């Protein structure tokens, strides 16, 4: 990009480029040079907006975590409508899109990145921990409405659903699981809670 050419929303342009690099080559392909080349800008642009590359990666993950907050609100709004298993299936399918799966791989492969994210996610794997909280809050709303068993153990159910979905979607290079396979797994995991289908 020529010097002096303004870049609108540099952060978003760099985040989008990082996501494309992640999707194309996985976490190991993600370097500052790869991101800036994909974004079509000089390497110095990234360092003008972020202290270093790990700070950039932390902001990328935090941006993804903020999206989960929006997904959580949308999921909570479905409480009392449709089927519990159907709502959870839809939320998990949306949550574990290719970019999110790649970002989970990035977080688990970089110790320094996880350390930076401990301020917002003190335990667990960033992104998955927030996703677990999203599912738990939704299930609590459904339990309050009587659509789950009153004694449903949400502290066990929510992480089990997230772990199961992550296993289904984790193969970045394989085919995306069919929605029916995701639904079948959700129904099996939730069976002890006796959800209304």
User: What three-state secondary structure class fits 42?
Assistant: coil
Nearest of 53, 49, 54 to residue 12 by alpha carbon: 49
Per-state percent for the chain, helix, strand, coil, to nearest 5: 70, 0, 30
Spatial separation of the C-alpha atoms in residues 92 and 19, rounded to whole Å: 20
User: What three-state secondary structure class fits 168?
Assistant: helix
φ/ψ region of 9 (left if φ > 0, alpha if ψ in -120 to 50, else beta) reads: left
pLDDT digit string, tens, across residues 177-187:
999 999 999 99
CATH for the stretch 64-193: 1.10.357
Say yes or no to pLDDT of 101 above 80: yes
Averaged over 79-105, what is the pLDDT?
95
b/e per residue 139-158 (b: at least 16 CB within 10 A): bbbbbeeebbeeebebeebb
pLDDT digit string, tens, across residues 130-180:
999 999 999 999 999 999 999 999 999 999 999 999 999 998 778 889 999
Task: Fold for 1-49, please state it.
Answer: Arc Repressor Mutant, subunit A (1.10.10)
Q: What is the pTM of this model?
A: 0.88
pLDDT digit string, tens, across residues 25-35:
989 999 999 99
pLDDT digit string, tens, across residues 119-131:
988 889 999 999 9
Q: Give the per-residue pLDDT at 35.
A: 97
Q: Is the Cα torsion angle 181, 98, 154, 107 positive or negative in sign? A: positive
Spatial separation of the C-alpha atoms in residues 58 and 50, rounded to whole Å: 10
Around 112, how many Cα atoms within 13 Å sit in the side-chain half-sphere? 6
pLDDT digit string, tens, across residues 59-82:
999 999 999 999 999 999 999 999
CB 162 within 8 A of CB 135: yes
Which 8-state DSSP code applies to residue 180? H
* Domains of the chain, residue spans: 1-49, 64-193
Confidence of residue 8 (pLDDT cuts 50, 70, 90): low
């Amino acid at each position: 990009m020529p010097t002096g050419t303004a870049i609108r929303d540099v952060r978003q342009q760099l985040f989008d480029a990082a996501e494309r690099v992640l999707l194309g080559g996985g976490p190991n392909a993600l370097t500052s040079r790869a991101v800036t080349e994909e974004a079509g800008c000089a390497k110095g642009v990234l360092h003008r907006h972020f202290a270093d590359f790990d700070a950039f990666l932390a902001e990328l993950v935090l941006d993804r975590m903020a999206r989960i907050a929006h997904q959580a609100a949308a999921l909570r709004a479905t409480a009392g409508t449709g089927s519990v298993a159907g709502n959870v299936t839809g939320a998990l399918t949306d949550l574990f899109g290719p970019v999110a799966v790649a970002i989970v791989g990035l977080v688990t492969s970089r110790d320094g990145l996880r350390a930076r994210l401990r301020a917002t996610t003190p335990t667990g794997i960033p992104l998955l921990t927030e996703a677990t909280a999203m599912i738990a809050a939704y299930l609590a709303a459904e339990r309050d409405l009587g659509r789950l068993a009153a004694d449903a153990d949400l502290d066990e159910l929510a992480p089990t659903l997230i772990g199961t979905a992550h296993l289904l979607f984790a193969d970045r290079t394989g085919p995306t699981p069919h929605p029916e396979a995701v639904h079948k797994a959700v129904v099996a995991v939730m069976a002890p809670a006796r959800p209304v289908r």
